Structure 1
Amino acid sequence: MSELTTVARPYARAAFEFAVDNKCIDSWSTMLQFSAEVVNNPVMAELLTRDKTATELVNLFLSVCDDQLDEHGQNFIKVMAENGRLSVLPRVALLFSELETAQNMQVDVDVVSAYALSSKQKTEISESLEKRLARKVNLNCSIDKSLVAGMVITAGDLVIDSSAIGQLNRLSNTLQS
């Protein structure tokens, strides 16, 4: 099971990145789901296990898919066939779906600052984090005067500490080592 995921992951990521760049995530999702169903069909599954050249597999696969795949989808199938990976298409579709879900998700970010942030600062922080995290960001701002200056940003496991206290602590650790 994990072997299939390891093999399928680069294909899913490549397809997803292409779909994001070309703003066609929905169509790619549909093409991959359809292709996965074709591979899961018992008759097709048997045909894919027989000794056939990559060209024969591509022709067979594309004849079944007919107009369900656009030019880029057909090229994707060709690459997978040339590498003998058509059997992992269901896993590619699943991973693609997971990437799509992750992209649409939002992340809550806690921003603790020494002083109240202006709306412009909140907007800049939000935009910067959205680029870095590739997700929509919901800022939860609070004030902690003990930070002296700067802020601490927490988003899940990511912590960005640009507070004066944090910087002094890092300097102290560096000098002690």
Structure 2
Amino acid sequence: MSELTTIVRPYAKAVFDLAIEKGELDQWSEMLYFAAEVSCNEVISDYIGGMHSISKLADLFICVCGEQLNEFGQNLVRIMAENNRLKMIPEMYIQFMALRHNYEKQVDVYVFSAIVLDSAQLDAIARKLEVRLARNIRLDCSVDETLIAGVVIRVGDLVIDNSVSGSIRRLKDTLQS
């Protein structure tokens, strides 16, 4: 996987730099997302893996994407086809979005709670995390009834466990030491 990341990084960085230069971050996000979905399609994926001419492969991919790709997106597909990298578009999309989130100082926060949280509770969590992390927060919330009560917040490698089950687990570990 790290080899794939290393191979795709220059493409993602170049596309990101172009998107910033042109002021088209949203458009490039949409184009790359669509192209990633196309490359994951079973029929297209099999076709990409087959022995076809580069120009036919690029033309088919561009034809399937239709108006979703502008001229720069089409050029990207041609370059990736020439370098036998069309299957790597999903990874490139992931890296592009990571660059975008870093640029926009955004972070995805996963909130697991024992019950559905109301908007006031979610706003309070978002405000506190924005201050702590100095980033714009995007919350992704889900219910986990095994928590008994409270919340678990995950931001990358950071985990904040304010759940009853987490407190019980910590108490158990303390008593056993």
Query: What letter is aligned with 2:44?
Result: M
The alignment partner of 1:84 has SS state of: coil
Q: Does 1:75 align with 2:91?
A: no
Alignment of 1:1-177 (within 5 A): 1-105=1-105
For residues 2 and 39 of structure 1, the distance between their equivalents in structure 2, rounded to whole angstroms, comes to 20
The one-character-per-residue Cα deviations of 1:114-140 (angstroms, maximum 9, x if unpaired) are xxxxxxxxxxxxxxxxxxxxx99xxxx
Question: What displacement does 1:53 show?
Answer: 1.3
TM-score, structure 2 normalization: 0.59
TM-score, structure 1 normalization: 0.59
Query: What letter is aligned with 2:60?
Result: L
For residues 74 and 44 of structure 1, the distance between their equivalents in structure 2, rounded to whole angstroms, comes to 16
Question: What displacement does 1:47 show?
Answer: 0.5
For residues 4 and 44 of structure 2, the distance between their equivalents in structure 1, rounded to whole angstroms, comes to 19
For residues 53 and 14 of structure 1, the distance between their equivalents in structure 2, rounded to whole angstroms, comes to 25
Query: What letter is aligned with 1:20?
Result: I
Query: What letter is aligned with 1:62?
Result: I
For residues 3 and 88 of structure 1, the distance between their equivalents in structure 2, rounded to whole angstroms, comes to 11
The one-character-per-residue Cα deviations of 1:18-63 (angstroms, maximum 9, x if unpaired) are 0000100100010000000001111111010000111011111011
For residues 77 and 59 of structure 1, the distance between their equivalents in structure 2, rounded to whole angstroms, comes to 9
**Which protein is bigger by CA-based radius of gyration?**
1
Question: What displacement does 1:82 show?
Answer: 0.7
The alignment partner of 2:51 has SS state of: coil
Among all aligned residue pairs of Structure 1 and Structure 2, give the percentage whose two residues are the same amino acid: 42
The alignment partner of 1:52 has SS state of: coil
For residues 39 and 3 of structure 1, the distance between their equivalents in structure 2, rounded to whole angstroms, comes to 19
- The residue aligned with 1:119 is none
Question: What displacement does 1:4 show?
Answer: 1.1
For residues 71 and 57 of structure 1, the distance between their equivalents in structure 2, rounded to whole angstroms, comes to 17
- The residue aligned with 2:131 is none
- The residue aligned with 2:112 is none
The alignment partner of 1:100 has SS state of: helix
Query: What letter is aligned with 2:73?
Result: G
For residues 30 and 82 of structure 1, the distance between their equivalents in structure 2, rounded to whole angstroms, comes to 23
Question: What displacement does 1:103 show?
Answer: 0.3
